[in-house]
Structure 1
Amino acid sequence: MQNGSLGFLRNENKRKVLQRIIDEEPTTRVQISKDLSMSKPTVSSLVGELIEEGWIIETGSGEASSSGGRKPVKLRFNAKNAYCIGIDIGGTGVVLGITDLQGELVNLKEFETQKNLGEKLLVEIKTQVDVMLSESGIDKQNILGVGVGVPGITNLETGIVVEAPALKWSNYPARKKIEEILSMPVFIDNDVNVSLLGEKWLGKGRHASNMIYISVGTGIGSGIMLQGNIYRGSNYSAGEIGYMVTDRQFASLYKPTVKGYGFLESVSGGNSIGEHLSNRLEREVTSLEAFELYRKGNADAIEVVTVAIENLSIGIANYVSLFDPEIVILGGGVTQSFDVIQPMINDILNRYTPRSCEIVQSAFGKKAGVIGAVALVLNEHGGLFTTKREG
């Protein structure tokens, strides 16, 4: 990447030409001139600069064909002229990846969160980033930026994580700390907002302007997109569905399974499902095992899982009634059991919402946060690179 600062974006005409190539590739100078009502000499000059800077490449020779006419030189976007790093910090695990500018994954790493709390977390992030860069043969100068998703309320402007119980962070200057260890520009947001961006860019939400992304993992969180924009609320805490109360009688007995967690995630989150069934069976059971026992007909597992998913479904029904989304996307570890979850959710929605809504599983699995974090970086550059055509 010869222009690491992306200063060329200040040239609006050059930006328009590059965006046209990204949207319509392969295309030609003549076609760009027609599409943008821009003179051919101007287009040729801007294309020349973009080729020199490595942002686009030419295909085709331009030589005469057998029929006598010249074959047009086609222009394509060079998605490997720069790269991005995405980091998804979850309560259970951290997933890191490097992608090109169209989201193609180059390298992926992961490590456990709870074994690396405090300053150890930052050290391990730096170690894994250095390993990925080395293994991929990518120079740090070719990294456009680092996107980070965090499981907690995050001030997008200051980069301060207001509260992240799973990480034991309170008013923690996460962006500053991560920038210091990586010496790269860092962009940070709540992890579900980040995953929502990834689904909008390359996932199940590409054609939706109003959608909800809900992550059901250690805790439960959600991202809300209205008219194509993420709704964050007045204190960056919109979408904290984990605090929703879905059962009045149960709420009177409510005790959080994890300090700082809300009612719904203490009933329906992965940790709570495992803990509630463990108490019944008097042995340690994970949420994944709980769903396996459910499928085998274990009575205790059926009761625990049913209560958990019914409460989750009521929360989703409330969202659908309030926001009228085109689609609800579910991600997180608990949704590995989507075959069990989906029918229960659909049943509740059919009974309690004014209209139906499509419920789908995330397109990315554990890569969701990484892809979304990369989309967060690209959005900071005006969304220039976040367009990808079907095909």
Structure 2
Amino acid sequence: MNRNQLHDQNLKFVLQQIFNNHPTSRIEISHQLHLNKSTVSSLYNTLMAEGYLTELGLGEASTAGGRKPTLVEINQNYGYTLTFDLGYRHLHALATRLDGHVWQYDRIETKDQSIHEMVTRIQRYIADTQAADTSSNGLLGICFSIHGIVMNNKVVTSPFIKMDGVDLEQVFTDAYQVPVVLENEANLSAVYERDFNGARNLNSAVTISIHRGIGAGVILHRDLFRGEHGDAGEIGRTVASLQFDDAGNARPIHAEDICSEDAIIQQVEEHKQLRDLDRDDIVRLYKDGDPETARILKTFVTGIAGLIYNTMRTLDPDAFFINSPLIEELPGILDDIRIAYRKLSENDDRGIELTNNARLATVLGGCSLITHRVLNLNGYELNFDRPKAKDTEI
């Protein structure tokens, strides 16, 4: 490594230390990175001149005495990033400051809208945030959460929203001249667990996302694993059984045909001869003791436990997380899934936990991804604070 490369690497290490340990000081950075004080001061001054840092005043002197250190943290007023989750029914929009703190969150009705209408709505939202923003550098980057397969920053498949040839990266890069990142929504849920929500001490973890379909975000050796073609984690498409017609032709029944939220709603509608049910209706029927709903959710429990078991045998992660608004509404189902899994696995005791704050998990994962990109810290671990209630009730 030549001198310039070493300087750039040390600059990133210092920025990472300040991001992960706010507030901190130059002397503390020097101790943590085992760099001499003059080197840290030079790197610190570079970051300060570029506007990334803000000083908070003097901290406490060490027990050995001496000068009080100047405390520093990431400059919240440097700029902001945006993440959009392109859901089938809603567009989730999250604006976060450079240090990851939530500035604004909105859920916008988009059911039955085309991708062109959604793009127009997103552009209007960006215009509104730009008008309200008072930061030094404004919009720094945009992340899109896609309910489909993403490869090389392009949407490969989008089963719930027809993309109609729209290249989101090109459209928004051309319009705003900032980095634009696309990622699968289950992958972003996994990134959220790693960087926000307690999985940062796990070497490997799998997050199973249960919405209209089923997907898995896979963290292996602290890195997001996408596979060679972006298909890793598409566990909802695994074959649960085969259905044969009279001619002996086999039709595969996929896991998400049985265990996704849409599949549950469809089954309840068929058995009760109802229409236009949603998640709230399923929750109400289950809590009211409806036997058909209880039976369908029992099948759901068995199916999800089977998916977790098969994934455990394939990837052997440290823990599993489930991102499911339905289970968040009916937390007792999580205990049923754990019991069913332990029966399949002969009492394997690895953790199966529910993702906290499922409403924001995907967009917060996007916040992490785009913040890494903006700070040029891809491959460097950044630890974000979990949003407090006042951050999310906007």
Within 2, Cα distance between the matches of 1:279 and 1:233?
37
Residue 375 of structure 1 corresponds to: 368
Structure 1: where are the runs of 5+ without partners? 1-6, 254-260
**Structure 2 residue 159 is the aligned partner of structure 1 residue 165:** yes
Calculate percent identity across the aligned residue pairs. Answer: 24
Cα gap change, 1:208 to 1:104, in 2 (>3 Å): same
Normalized against structure 1, the TM-score is what?
A: 0.84
Within 1, Cα distance between the matches of 2:65 and 2:297?
71
Asked if structure 1 preserves the Cα contact closer than 8 Å seen for 2:210 and 2:324, the reply is yes
Superposition pairs for residues 212-227 of structure 1, below 5 Å?
A: 212-227=206-221
Within 1, Cα distance between the matches of 2:367 and 2:17?
21
Within 2, Cα distance between the matches of 1:221 and 1:35?
38
Within 1, Cα distance between the matches of 2:146 and 2:220?
21
Structure 2: where are the runs of 5+ without partners? 246-251, 387-394
SS of residue paired to 2:219: strand
Deviation at 1:265, TM superposition (A): 1.5
Deviation at 1:14, TM superposition (A): 2.5
Deviation at 1:238, TM superposition (A): 1.0
**Cα offsets for 1:132-185 (capped at 9, x unmatched):** 33334457x433211111000111x2x221111100237753322333444432
Cα gap change, 1:8 to 1:233, in 2 (>3 Å): closer
SS of residue paired to 1:206: helix
Within 2, Cα distance between the matches of 1:61 and 1:204?
31
Q: Which amino acid aligns with 1:57?
A: T
Residue 256 of structure 1 corresponds to: none
Residue 147 of structure 2 corresponds to: 151
**Cα offsets for 1:183-240 (capped at 9, x unmatched):** 4320111111122112211114222221111111111111111111222122111111
Deviation at 1:27, TM superposition (A): 3.5
Q: Which amino acid aligns with 2:325?
A: G
SS of residue paired to 1:103: coil
Deviation at 1:11, TM superposition (A): 2.8
Deviation at 1:106, TM superposition (A): 0.2
Residue 72 of structure 1 corresponds to: 69
Deviation at 1:364, TM superposition (A): 2.5
Which of 283, 293, 318 in structure 1 is aligned with 2:310? 318
**Structure 2 residue 259 is the aligned partner of structure 1 residue 268:** yes
Which has the larger displacement, 54-63 or 228-237? 54-63
Q: Which amino acid aligns with 2:377?
A: G
Within 1, Cα distance between the matches of 2:61 and 2:360?
46
Asked if structure 2 preserves the Cα contact closer than 8 Å seen for 1:33 and 1:43, the reply is yes
Within 2, Cα distance between the matches of 1:296 and 1:213?
30
Residue 121 of structure 2 corresponds to: 124
Which of 248, 265, 269 in structure 2 is aligned with 1:278? 269
Within 2, Cα distance between the matches of 1:319 and 1:310?
14
Asked if structure 1 preserves the Cα contact closer than 8 Å seen for 2:61 and 2:67, the reply is yes
SS of residue paired to 1:74: strand
Within 2, Cα distance between the matches of 1:375 and 1:276?
37
Within 2, Cα distance between the matches of 1:79 and 1:297?
49
Within 2, Cα distance between the matches of 1:344 and 1:215?
17
Within 1, Cα distance between the matches of 2:321 and 2:154?
27
SS of residue paired to 1:363: coil
Within 1, Cα distance between the matches of 2:7 and 2:118?
37
Deviation at 1:117, TM superposition (A): 1.4
Cα gap change, 1:296 to 1:56, in 2 (>3 Å): same
**Cα offsets for 1:303-334 (capped at 9, x unmatched):** 22222232222112211232222221111432
Deviation at 1:102, TM superposition (A): 3.2
Superposition pairs for residues 226-265 of structure 1, below 5 Å?
A: 226-246=220-240, 248=241, 251-252=243-244, 263-265=254-256
Within 1, Cα distance between the matches of 2:385 and 2:329?
31
Residue 15 of structure 2 corresponds to: 18
Q: Which amino acid aligns with 1:374?
A: C
Aligned-residue RMSD, C-alpha: 3.1
Cα gap change, 1:9 to 1:36, in 2 (>3 Å): closer
Residue 187 of structure 1 corresponds to: 181
Asked if structure 1 preserves the Cα contact closer than 8 Å seen for 2:79 and 2:135, the reply is no
Superposition pairs for residues 201-212 of structure 1, below 5 Å?
A: 201-212=195-206
Within 2, Cα distance between the matches of 1:297 and 1:88?
34
**Cα offsets for 1:310-363 (capped at 9, x unmatched):** 222211221123222222111143233341421221122111115222121212
Asked if structure 2 preserves the Cα contact closer than 8 Å seen for 1:290 and 1:305, the reply is no
